[in-house]
Structure 1
Amino acid sequence: MTLAVDLAALHRLQNPRAVVVDTRQWAQHVGIVAKDSDAAVGFTTRHVIRRDFPRNSCDRKTALKNAHSRFKTDRHVYVGVEDSRILAEGSEWEFLYVETAAEMAGWLLGDDTCDDRTLRARLRKLF
């Protein structure tokens, strides 16, 4: 299986690194797709997450298409959020909402309202 996770979905998980490590036990390839590839690189660096998909500046749909061509596995599953569902439609990727995937795999959801940028903004207001 090839698993693609949208960066927005990773932000909703309590421990994204643990999720990716867990996923690697049953998926041959795990990649992260994002609207902003620099944000994805920063996130994966901060959380020490290895990415199988190459870093590039293409959009998410192109990244999924490239990964599907590159990784020949029996299934291609894309875990995302509401606005990413349309990317899987008409493609050869199965789509799962992050909440559904979390429930199926036993992953814990976190507070998606408090990512690193939000926390820094809140701290700036306080000080």
Structure 2
Amino acid sequence: MTLVFTLSAARSLADPTAAFADARRWSAHVGIVANDVGAVEQFLDRHDLENDYALRDWDKWGTLADIGESTDTPRHVFVGTGPADRRLADTVGWEFRAVREAAEKAEWALGEPEQADREADAGIVARLRRTVTDRSWWPF
């Protein structure tokens, strides 16, 4: 099986390192996708995880389609968090599992994302807003 998480699904795991180690026992390929490659790299580094495929500056759609074409496994499972992730899985021909369902079946605990993950989830608009409102860097 090829098992791919969205970044938000991986962040919702109480112990992503343990969940990935467990998933590697019964999956040929395990990884994380997101539209923000830098955020995925930071998450992987923070939790000492590795993707089984190269990260590219593509969106989730292109990355997931590429992984599906390049991995020769009988099942491709996409673990996500909502309807948009389900639509993505359906469009590229992957099975979809909500993170809560996957965690329950695999006996992985869910938890609160770390502060760094919550801040990264805030997105670019929130980061820009903080930058603009933090006037300490302004020269005047």
TM-score, length-scaled by structure 2: 0.80
| Percentage identity across paired residues of the two chains | 38
Deviations 1:93-120 (A, max 9, x none): 00000000000000000014x431547x
Alignment-derived partner of residue 97 in structure 2:
96
Alignment-derived partner of residue 86 in structure 2:
85
Say if 2:4 and 2:79, in contact at 8 Å, map to a contact too: yes
Give me the whole-angstrom Cα distance separating, in 2, the residues matched to 1:69 and 1:117. 30
Give me the whole-angstrom Cα distance separating, in 2, the residues matched to 1:31 and 1:71. 12
Say if 2:9 and 2:79, in contact at 8 Å, map to a contact too: yes
User: 5+ residue gaps in structure 1?
Assistant: 120-127
Alignment-derived partner of residue 20 in structure 2:
20
Cα 1:88–1:16, aligned 2, differ >3 Å: closer, same or farther? same
More helix by share: 2
Alignment-derived partner of residue 65 in structure 1:
65
Give me the whole-angstrom Cα distance separating, in 2, the residues matched to 1:77 and 1:103. 15
Cα 1:75–1:56, aligned 2, differ >3 Å: closer, same or farther? same
- Count the aligned residue pairs: 120
User: 5+ residue gaps in structure 2?
Assistant: 120-140
| Residues 1:49 and 2:49 are matched in the alignment | yes
Give me the whole-angstrom Cα distance separating, in 1, the residues matched to 2:117 and 2:50. 22
